[in-house]
Amino acid sequence: MSAGRHPPPESRSDGEWDRLAGQWLEHLALERNLSPRTVEGYASDLAKLIEFCLELGISPGDVDVSVMGRFFSDLADAGAAPRSRARARSAASGFFRYLERIGLSDRSPLEDLSGPRLGRPLPQVLSVEEALAILDAPTEETPLQMRDGVLLELLYATGMRVSEVVSTRLQDWLGRDGLVRVHGKGNKERIVPVGAPTVRRVEAYLATARAALDPRCDRILVNHRGGPLSRVSAWSILDRWARKVGVQVDAGTGHKNSHRVHPHVLRHSFATHLLKGGADLRSIQEMLGHANLATTEIYTHMDLSTLKEVHASAHPRARG
């Protein structure tokens, strides 16, 4: 692939910057196999650094920690958000690592320079009353409504990701023991406790409604044709019932992140309500399958009996 397909960032003409930037972008496309969109993003972010350095008359080999510090200060003064500065830093870091690799630099000028503090936006969380109102919304008069109720129940009662819920198989349901086996990211498996109300609801659905939907797969949740319920359908089901009880709010953009209630909100609510109920972070981490529920926490294994005790004592849907 020629450099023409991944042109260097547009900036003032400078042979050395253009040549090295073009080589790096081609390296990203050919050797790193990054998507064209990702390469374009790196090109755009590197362009800011190139323009800054050209204004100062600095060549790639002369960039040091002082120059980079001035560059990031300049971005901040121009009103660039922390995430924009972090992207610019990522592009610069990759570029200078490439220069090290090809022998044009001995050390990255970013090694001794700390990155911008991004902070973590607080997740949307429902109140216990709002979560239970959504769960209780399906009247269960039809097999599909019973299916919807089980979907909502499992999302909130277990904290599973929507992809994990829709992929849960019959053999993963261990209702007699008050447990469900979850297949998470990276094929990691975990066991999550479920309370008595959830067990009763799932067992009732499995005994009657699921069979009425003429299942053609081994998933617990099936669509109206008997096939696996999709992630998109699960999102729509939650949206519909959240609207019915007046909990859903959206900005009208059509994007899921503009909605107050979506599957990950139930996951956040699961963790938050457990924490407020007295559960410790490490138990919550285990149930979520998260290595980093909080940035300072590390993944710690908890035995199954401890998790069941924590869930039974702290989760609103474990009682009743």
DSSP state of 32: S
Which has the closest alpha carbon to 195: 72, 76, 310? Answer: 310
183 included as an active-site residue: no
Q: Which of 83, 200, 216, 299 is catalytic?
A: 299
Beta-carbon contacts of residue 3 (< 8 Å; ≥ 6 apart): 22, 23, 25, 26
Buried b or exposed e, range 7-33, using 16+ CB within 10 angstroms: ebbebeebeebbebbbbbbbbbbeeee
Pairing of strands 173-174, 189-193: unpaired
Which has the closest alpha carbon to 314: 268, 270, 265? Answer: 270
Cβ atoms of 138 and 149 within 8 Å: the answer is: yes
**According to DSSP H, which parts of the chain are helical?**
15-30, 36-56, 65-77, 82-101, 128-135, 143-158, 162-166, 196-204, 210-212, 231-244, 263-276, 281-288, 304-314
d(CA 130, CA 147): 20
Q: Which of 85, 161, 219, 311 is catalytic?
A: 161
Cβ atoms of 266 and 273 within 8 Å: the answer is: no
188 included as an active-site residue: no
Q: Which of 181, 264, 268, 282 is catalytic?
A: 264
290 included as an active-site residue: yes
d(CA 165, CA 178): 16
* Tokens representing residue 26 in the block: 């081609």
264 included as an active-site residue: yes
If 0-12 CB within 10 Å is exposed, 13-18 middle and 19+ buried, where does residue 57 land? Answer: exposed
185 included as an active-site residue: yes
Q: Which of 85, 89, 201, 267 is catalytic?
A: 267
d(CA 194, CA 246): 27
Q: Which of 185, 224, 244, 319 is catalytic?
A: 185
Q: Beta-carbon neighbour count of residue 35 at 10 Å? A: 10
Q: Which of 48, 262, 273, 290 is catalytic?
A: 290
101 included as an active-site residue: no
Catalytic residues: 161, 185, 264, 267, 290, 299
